[in-house]
Each structure stands twice: as structure tokens, then as C-alpha cells.
Amino acid sequence: MAADQEIMQQQREEHGGESSRRDYADPPPQPVVATSELLRWSLYRGAIAEFVATLLFLYVAASASSASRGPSAA
């Protein structure tokens, strides 16, 4: 107990005596996907867009990778 208080006192002195009090409050945690959101078309449209963009990125990366080797001898 006393050691904890000493550590806290040392930390206050290191920070110029400022307390670590925040002047804002964290919002309560929210679920990542709400059940009502599963019925909305915009969720699926966004997922499809992310999937297509990932495939396009992989295609361009593979094309650039194979083109950088130059023409093959075969």
C-alpha cells in the first residue's frame, strides 16, 4: 500500500505535479454490427465493394509482380 502511494507520488513529480485527470468521458462500448444492421442492403453493398476492391488489388499486384521479371525464355 505504501509502496503504491510512493510510486504514484514519483509519477506526479515526474509529470510536473499534473494529475492524470481527463476532461472527457469515454463513450459506452457499442456492438460492431447491430442485429438491425444485418437487414440493411448498405451493409452487404459495402462488403461486396470491399471484396471486389481486394480482388482488384491482388490482380494488379500479381500483374506488376509478373511483369517486373521481364519476358521469359520459354
**Predicted local confidence at residue 16, as pLDDT:** 56
Outline where DSSP puts E strands in 1-74. Answer: none
The secondary element (H helix, E strand) that includes residue 38 is none
Residue 40: the pLDDT is: 93
Chain centroid, CA 66 distance in Å: 31
Q: Could you tell me the residue ranges of all domains in the chain?
A: 33-67
CA distance 61 to 56: 9
Angle at 54 between CA 50 and CA 60, to 5 degrees: 145
Confidence (pTM): 0.49
Which pLDDT score, from 0 to 100, does residue 55 have?
Answer: 98
pLDDT along the chain (74 residues), means of 10: 70 60 85 86 96 97 81 59
Type of residue found at 40: R
Instruction: Note whether 43 and 33 are within 8 A (CB).
Output: yes
